[in-house]
Structure formats: structure tokens, C-alpha cells
Amino acid sequence: MVYMKQSRLILPTGRVAPLARLGRALASKAYADAKFFLIVDENTYAHCLPEVVARVAAFEQAEFVEVPVGEECKSIEIAAQVWQTMLESDADTNTVVVSLGGGAVCDLGGFVAAGYKRGVRNINIPTTLIAMADAAIGGKTAVDLGGVKNPVGFFKMPDIVCVDTSFLDTLPDAEVVAGAFEVVKTAAVADADLFRSLVDGASACASAPVVARVAEIKQAVVGADPNDHGIRHILNFGHTFGHAVEAHRAAAGKPVSHGVAVGIGMALALRLSVLKLGFPRDDYDRYCRFLTKYVDFPRFTLRDTEALLALMRNDKKNRGGEILAVLMQRLGEPVINIALSDNEIRDTFLKGMAL
């Protein structure tokens, strides 16, 4: 059994704002000699850093480095530049790397912290919905290499994840919609009532209580399987199809965000769940209604289908040559490692949402 210390989650619940609580935590003895090194991108530099520095006294003397926006920051070269900057500013083993940004900045920051002087502490302050609900929690870090996403990385549990939904006010609507699908995904695998209230429009995916609940669910799943050997796979619901859709659309010059691709992937996985595992039809229909409010479901041709199948064969989660997916018996009852045949996958893309 591998022991991995869990992160402290500071959630947007209660009367004291999350950043104020982070400020208090960093004023404690555990951080008495710490030097903080903040990683920001152009957006968080402009829209989030001033607020964070104003509210967290420990950051007044912090160094910061700006990295490219989005996936572009996740490279060995950018990681090396950050390490170089840390060396030049005499960062020692008491340094705490603080990632202020979306999933890409948190992935990079964790990677940098895991490698610097054989490992220094890190803190995530996610600023996008997708990062608050998923990417910033759980210690998966990685950079991209040779056009492949995330082949090199470490498990590096952040000391603290500070989730402050007020940052969502600075985000474009499309970013919030993209994040909403990861929120719905987590609800689907763990909380049927929350799922129904989100897709029926009774609760907002980006509201503080919903984000806090989803962050807690993610933390609990990670706690049960920190190294991703089993139960944590449930968080990949919608991703086997979703990753293929994301890569295929990007190659076709019609990119969709990761979140939207996962939203489409969830519809495909739920349709298969109805057919293979008897997932209730009414919950499938309510999800499809939710999805199509925000996304034009793509029509996949025969040629697309072969390309998508090839992409799915390359998924790093497959084992022994089989394409594996997470399907659902019922809301809150995911089943991992369901092997799918090539014909089932072709049929799934060709039929789309139709049953």
C-alpha cells in the first residue's frame, strides 16, 4: 500500500473567504521559513495575481514567473526555464511553488515542484472551473512531449488546494461551460441527486456549493486510490471517447475544448451504458437535453469513425490491446474497465446520441 498525504482543501464554504483562510494557513509555523514562488500566466498575472497578493500576506515578498497560456506551458523547456529562474533566485528546499491558473499551470507547477531539488512543497490556486473541479486536486502532474499529451509526469500531492469561485467571474462563458462538463461528470459517478439537479438546471455548475461538493468528491476518490490503480479510474468517465473527439477535432482544424469533448464523450458512454448495462433511459435523455443546450453534437462520418477508433487504440489507459471505458450501471454506480469491441465503437460514433 502506497501512502500519499492528502492535500488540505480550502473550499468556498463558510463566512471567511478562501484566500483569507489561505493567508492564515501560510502564517502558521509550518510555513515559517518558506519562500513562495508563484507561477502565473498572462491572464492570471493581469486578473488574479493582484487580488491574491493583496489578500495573502505571505506572498508580499514572493517571486513570480509568467509562463505561456494554456497547454503551451506544459513542456520540458518551460519547466527548465522555471527551474533556471528558481536557481537564479536562490530558491532552496523551503521553497513552495504556488500555481495560480488553470489545469495547465497546475500541472506544470506540480511537475516543477516534484523535480526541483528532488521535491519541494507546492500549492494550487485554481482559477478555472475545470481546474477547481478536477485538475488542481489529486496530485497528477505532467508535461507534454513530442506532440503527445502528458507522457512525462509525477504524482505530487499539493500541500494545499485553495478553491475560490470568485475567480470564475474573470472567465469567458465558454471556459465556464467547458468546466461544467467536468462538474457534471463527477456528479454522475458519485452523486445522483446532484447530477439531476445540475442537468435539470436547478443548480448552477459554477456555484460555490456545487464546486465545493465536487472538489470534496474528487478528494475522496483520490484518497481511496492516490496512484490511480483502480477506483480513481471512475473519474475518467466520458474521457475514453472524449479524448479521441478532442484530438480528432483538433487535427481537423475544428478544435473543441477538453471539457466540451468530455461532454460529448459522456453522451456516447451513457448511450453505451443504456445498451450494455441497462442505464436508465430517462437519465440518459435528461443528460442529452443538457448537452445539446450548450454543444452542437457532431455528426461522425465513416471516415471519422476509423480515425477516432485509431485514436482510441492509443489511449494510455488501455491494457492488453483492449479498448477500455468507464460505463454506468446507474448514476453513482460507475463500472471501470469495460472492454469495447471495434464494432461497438464504430457503431457508437455513427449513431451519435440516437438509441
Binding site for ligand GLY (CB under 6 A): 134, 138, 140, 228, 232, 235
Shortest distance, position 111 Cβ to ligand GLY, whole Å: 15
Per residue, what are the HEC states of 122-170? EEEEECCHHHHHHHCCCCECCEEECCEEEEECCECCCCEEECCHHHHHH
Closest to ligand GLY by CB, 38 vs 269, is: 269
Side-chain-facing half-sphere of 277: CA atoms under 13 Å = 21
Closest approach, Cβ 351 to ligand GLY, in A, equals 27
> Measuring CA to CA, which residue among 201, 202, 198, 245 is closest to residue 217?
198
Give me the least distance between CB of 134 and ligand GLY, in Å please: 5
The distance of closest approach from Cβ of residue 22 to ligand GLY in the complex, given in angstroms and rounded to an integer, is 22
Question: Minimum distance from CB of 140 to ligand GLY (Å)?
Answer: 5
Nearer to ligand GLY, 124 or 305 (CB): 124
The 8-class DSSP code of residue 300 comes to: P
Least spacing, CB of residue 229 vs ligand GLY, in Å:
11
Smallest separation (angstroms) from ligand GLY to the CB of 146: 22
Closest residue by Cα to residue 322 from 338, 307, 339: 339
Nearer to ligand GLY, 154 or 297 (CB): 154
Whether the Cβ atoms of residue 154 and residue 233 lie closer than 8 Å to each other: no
* Closest CA relative to residue 184, chosen from 211, 219, 222, 166: 211
Looking at the Cβ atoms of 135 and 176, the one nearer to ligand GLY is 135
Q: Closest residue (Cβ) to ligand GLY?
A: 235
Cα radius of gyration rounded to whole Å, the chain:
20
Identify which of residues 95 and 186 has a Cβ nearer to ligand GLY in the complex.
Answer: 186
By C-alpha distance, which of 210, 217, 149, 183 is closest to 290?
Answer: 183
* Residue 236 or 305 with smaller CB distance to ligand GLY: 236
For residue 54, what is its C-alpha cell? 493583496
DSSP state of 57: G
> 16, exposed or middle or buried, with CB in 10 Å at 0-12, 13-18, 19+?
exposed
Q: Could you tell me the smallest distance in angstroms from the CB atom of residue 218 to ligand GLY?
A: 7
Show the CA angle centred on residue 105, arms to residues 104 and 110, nearest 5°.
100
Closer to ligand GLY by CB, 326 or 331: give it.
326
- Dihedral over Cα of 257, 261, 266, 271: its sign: positive
Q: Which is nearer to ligand GLY, 258 or 271 (CB)?
A: 258
